[in-house]
A and B are shown apart, each in its own frame.
Chain A
Amino acid sequence: MAIAIAGLMTGGVAIASSAPAAPAVQGHADMHAVAPVAPEAPKSTTPWWVWPLSLFVVTFILGILAVLGGVGGGVLFVPIVGGFFPFHIDFVRGAGLLVALAGALAAGPGLLKRNLASLRLAIPVALIASSAAIGGAMIGLALSANVINTLLGATILFIVVIMATAKKSDFPVVPKPDALSQSLGIMGIYREESLGKDVEWNVHKTPMGLALFVVIGIMAGMFGLGAGWANVPVLNLLMGAPLKISVATSKFLLSITDTSAAWVYLNQGAVLPMIVVPSLVGIMLGSIIGVKILAKSKPKAIKWMVIGLLLFAGLRSLLKGLEIWK
């Protein structure tokens, strides 16, 4: 099915690039369109409904893979939809942010109630990341599609390297909490069911962690990616939060970071419901199925499949940006 859809998408793009220019749009919008300001895109002969339907099917599959591969939906969504669908990368990034935001909003309440996501840890980090994400979104919307695609491709390839090589630590050792984390009271206790005991945790290197969240926020806003791939290593490996706390807090954190960037995209008009809603519903339904499959799957094989998918999508984005593979 995925191959058929990929073929359809490729065909659709080919049709779009070969068909003659379309007549002016009819309806309300055109009443205001006195003179064309921008060149009109070539007309596609593919009916409109094919795209949201394809988007729904593809994002449903991505939703399953994201859960099984342990990544956020946004990081798969933006390079794959940006690379293989006819939508401009501006709209894809706007949709990507909302996809990541919806996933984080959906997961947030459960993670907070179970005390796995820590509000105490998230609030200071979120202020830094969400402020930076606004800047990132503004930079991203001001850059050309080629520059964005090139940088996005490079970032995705970097994520591939992180995913393939980074180690994780279930319970990092924090010899001494730093002064900032102590003054803010960033600490907690959670029930580790796998060990059957309560685990106390602290963090250290908070100033360095906060500084890195400036970079993470900018990248999240610029590319419309959820930033879980970067949040987790910083919270876990650098700041020393336990892995479960890091993963849960990272997921919750996206609901705040992506909110600020999403507003910038929304206010600039870079949000098309025809792209957003099928994607959002597809990813969420796929994630629900993914969770059910997770118990029976072989995580390592799937992790490498997701890495392979990201590698392909990252290369596609990079080569598209460099105008080598249009």
Chain B
Amino acid sequence: MTSEKTKASEEQMAYAKVLNFGMWLGLAVLVLTFFVYISGVLPSYVPIDDLPKYWSMRVHDYNDKLHAPTGWGWASLVGKGDYLNFVGIAMLSGLTILCYLVILPILIRKKDTAYAVIAVMEVLVLSLAASGLLKVGGH
């Protein structure tokens, strides 16, 4: 039996709620778009039959060879079956940022300054990672 003392905090429950909804939505989109991809309803940027020729390449070589987009370049190619899948992947990868933004007002209202500052910093860190500004050199 759960007593008041052992109940999760308000921000924890809010986080869980958004996470739960977003996770199922992201997964559903991911599976749906994958079936669109393999069914061939939409043309693929890299034809599926040719993919095995390239997936053993280093990512830098793959990108160079196929002129594959990096950063948010995929967003302009969502009309292609393969890049359509990135919508679901981006939803799942972006969910944590949304969860932090949801709990931030609760932390501020509770005057939990330390955690509000940490939450803002986390949003900045994840946004930087998501921005595509970080470049990796080839090897």
Contact = CB atoms under 8 A, between A and B. Distances in A.
Interface of A: 16, 22, 25-30, 32-33, 36-41, 43-44, 46, 48-49, 51-52, 86-88, 90-91, 94, 98, 101-102, 105-106, 108-110, 112-115, 118-120, 123-124, 126-127, 130-131, 134, 137-138, 141-145, 183-184, 189-191, 198, 255-256, 259-264, 266-277, 280-281
A127 B57 contact: no
A105 B19 contact: yes
B59 A264 contact: no
A38 B62 CA distance: 8
Nearest to A39: B61
Contacts of A264: 129, 134, 136
A131 B126 CA distance: 8
Interface of A is mostly: helix
Contacts of B101: none
Nearest to B2: A191
Nearest to A113: B16
B125 to A, nearest CB: 5
Interface of B is mostly: helix
Nearest to A13: B56
Given A29-B45, A109-B23, A123-B115, 17 more contacts: A38-B62, A51-B52, A86-B52, A88-B59, A108-B19, A109-B17, A112-B15, A119-B12, A120-B9, A126-B122, A138-B136, A259-B93, A264-B134, A266-B90, A267-B72, A267-B131, A273-B37
Given A86-B52, A88-B59, A119-B11, A37 B125 contact: no
A138 B128 CA distance: 13
Contacts of B44: 27-28
Contacts of B122: 123, 126-127, 130, 256
B65 A130 contact: no
Contact of A88 (B20, B55, B138): B55
B24 to A, nearest CB: 9
Nearest to A21: B53
A271 B86 contact: yes
A143 B136 CA distance: 10
